């Protein structure tokens, strides 16, 4: 397993552990920026706002990004079904 795969696995695990238990129905579609070192995160309906909040709170972090209720944070040129 390479470093990218480890990063993704850790991001998914932290998302499931730290974010999912606190989600509400109205959070669907919001963007989560999760610091994989600390497990801290920010969530906002606007991706750019979420990024700026996360960068301010965790200035040196690499972020795992997730969109609540979707398989991916982005879709390129197509339809993105909800989970």
pLDDT for 24-77, tens place per residue? 999 999 999 999 999 999 999 999 999 999 999 999 999 999 999 988 787 666
pLDDT at position 73, please? 81
* pLDDT of residue 80 exceeding 70: no
Range of the domain at 62: 3-67
Identify whether the C-beta of residue 31 lies closer than 8 Å to the C-beta of residue 44: yes
Four-residue CA torsion sign, 65, 67, 69, 74:
negative
**Does residue 80 belong to any structural domain of this protein?**
no
Tell me the residue ranges of DSSP E strands in the chain. Answer: 31-35, 41-44, 63-67
**Does residue 82 belong to any structural domain of this protein?**
no
Q: What is the mean pLDDT of residues 2-10?
A: 94
**Does residue 60 belong to any structural domain of this protein?**
yes
**N-terminal to C-terminal alpha carbon distance within the chain:** 27
**Does residue 33 belong to any structural domain of this protein?**
yes
How many structural domains is the chain composed of? 1
């Amino acid at each position: 397993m390479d470093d990218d795969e480890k990063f993704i696995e850790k991001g998914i695990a932290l998302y499931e552990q730290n974010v999912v238990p606190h989600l509400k129905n109205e959070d669907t579609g919001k963007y989560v920026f999760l610091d994989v070192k600390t497990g801290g995160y920010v969530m906002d309906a606007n991706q750019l706002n979420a990024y700026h909040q996360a960068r301010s709170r965790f200035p040196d972090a690499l972020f795992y990004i997730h969109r609540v209720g979707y398989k991916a944070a982005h879709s390129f040129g197509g339809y993105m079904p909800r989970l």
